[in-house]
Chain A
């Protein structure tokens, strides 16, 4: 049962995080913990996300709305990168000839 953190444990684990911030993140729906009978449950991805959110909000003075936009763009970027990795891996498994044709097509796309 690792990778499960209560609200208190999350605040302890993320040095910069205050309870006020945590509640604000959850209410703004930029962090989505799991809801349970014992309260909120956070996972490591939520902690890493809140650490990033704290940095963005404190050190770059981002307000909640700007924070929401920035994190959504970051999520989109990661999503696209994830898909790109998947496609690259799928291409890797193709025969040499197919890979060469794809490379050629990519080169042409960049030339335009």
Chain B
């Protein structure tokens, strides 16, 4: 960026506060990334102009700069995300649902776009309908649910600070970040228009034992050395309760055992996922003499190198 904020605004040191403001507005209008989403150079230009203005708009920092107390980058702001970085994403709730009505049936493509946009929306209104009616606005809510509730499904009630309540049925297999649409639970329509929808964004709390990987449930299961060496049947938590899991003889840390059909049941009749059990061998809390002697003895004839090929 330029080292001279005056030059960045096309001014000299004698500029008045009013001239600075005017110059900034003109340049900002020509370079603000959100007003020029198609211009890749806009962001850099806008940053330069904004940094210069931030420095000069305040008489105090301007005086400090003039006196050489701070340099031109002193006021530079950190990496910023602009609105345009989000605005074109398909999920952007601020994107209007309308905009192609006047294309009529001129093009199937626009009919398709319009259909996509109104899909699940508060019902497209018919512009030829008698009188004036507008569908109600969609209302947005956020709800945190427990891990197990999201997996098995649950009935929840949101109680807002103002006392308003909303009942939400969490479907089985709901994922973190998923939005549930409750038809007709949004704002009232005008002039007989249909009521808007309630959109509930679900956050799933993390669980101390279970994690989720798509439709699979993942857990890390600690086992003892003797269980790893000899094999064992051990109790394992699953979403449906405790089950017995067979640890094969000679199991290693990191080995993953699969419990088929113990995962998440996704919506839409697909089969349930699995539970993946990652083993982790835990050393005994105390290495007693017998174990030590045995291991030293054992090593003499059975040493093996699990790191073979890793180091030269």
Contacts and interface: CB of A to CB of B under 8 A. Distances in A.
A63 B129 CA distance: 34
A80 interface: yes
B28 A59 contact: yes
A77 B37 contact: yes
Contacts of B141: 34-36
B83 A85 contact: no
A55 B142 contact: no
Interface stretch (A17-25, A40-48, A92-100): A40-48
A55 B161 contact: no
A48 B160 contact: no
B137 interface: yes
Interface SS of chain A: helix
A35 B34 contact: no
B234 interface: no
A4 B24 CA distance: 33
Interface string A81-93: 1110111000000
B88 A78 contact: yes
B138 to A, nearest CB: 8
A51 to B, nearest CB: 7
A81 B38 contact: yes
Contacts of A83: 113
Given A39-B161, A81-B88, A33 B38 contact: no
Contacts of B260: none
A60 B142 CA distance: 33
B239 to A, nearest CB: 21
Interface in A70-84: 72, 74-83
A32 interface: yes
Interface stretch (B93-101, B217-225, B294-302): B93-101
A52 interface: yes
Interface in B90-128: 90, 92-96, 99, 109, 113
A85 B84 CA distance: 14
Interface of A: 1, 4, 15, 29, 32-37, 39, 41, 44-45, 47-49, 51-52, 55, 59-60, 72, 74-83, 85-87
20 contacts: A1-B205, A29-B137, A32-B93, A32-B140, A35-B158, A36-B141, A36-B144, A41-B142, A45-B83, A45-B86, A45-B93, A48-B82, A48-B83, A51-B80, A52-B34, A75-B96, A78-B87, A78-B88, A80-B99, A81-B38
